[in-house]
Amino acid sequence: MHAVVVLGFGLTVVGCGHTEGWDGEAAVREVMLQQEQAWDRGNIPGFMVGYDEKVCFISAKGSTCGRDSVTARYLRTYPDQQAMGELEFGMGEVLPAGNDHAWCTGTWKLHRSRDTVAGGFSLFWARTPQGWRILRDHTY
């Protein structure tokens, strides 16, 4: 049994390590920039373009899966431009997880007229036919 676990772990590490010619970092950072810009225009549907159809958003308030459901959650939480404020991402690492996936970490701030709220995130990305998209968003 232990040999199977060790072998599985080894294959996972080797599979994630094959990143020769990996071009994901710049693309992920560009999508994040586009999301910031859409948010600052009050365009939640535009912000959501960076998410895969099968995204799961995980926060202290629970999990929401599916882009339509995550979009509805954002629209309920941020009903207008005043509630949305101005978004600022602090980009941390973008690490390859094979050639077609990546992990991204960083911070976020919402600068609003009444307050500034902030937290962090870890995002799991996939290269799709539509470009790089977020599959898992763990925001705290």
Query: pLDDT value at position 7?
Result: 36
List of E strands, the chain: 51-59, 62-65, 86-96, 101-111, 116-128, 131-139
Segment 11-60, tens digit of pLDDT = 344 345 555 678 899 999 999 999 999 999 999 999 999 999 999 999 99
Position 103 confidence tier, pLDDT thresholds 50, 70, 90:
very high
Residues 103, 105, 110, 111, CA torsion sign? negative
- Domain edges within the chain: 2-139
Query: pLDDT value at position 19?
Result: 59
Contacts of 60 (CB under 8 A, 6+ apart): 140
CATH architecture of 2-139: Roll (3.10)
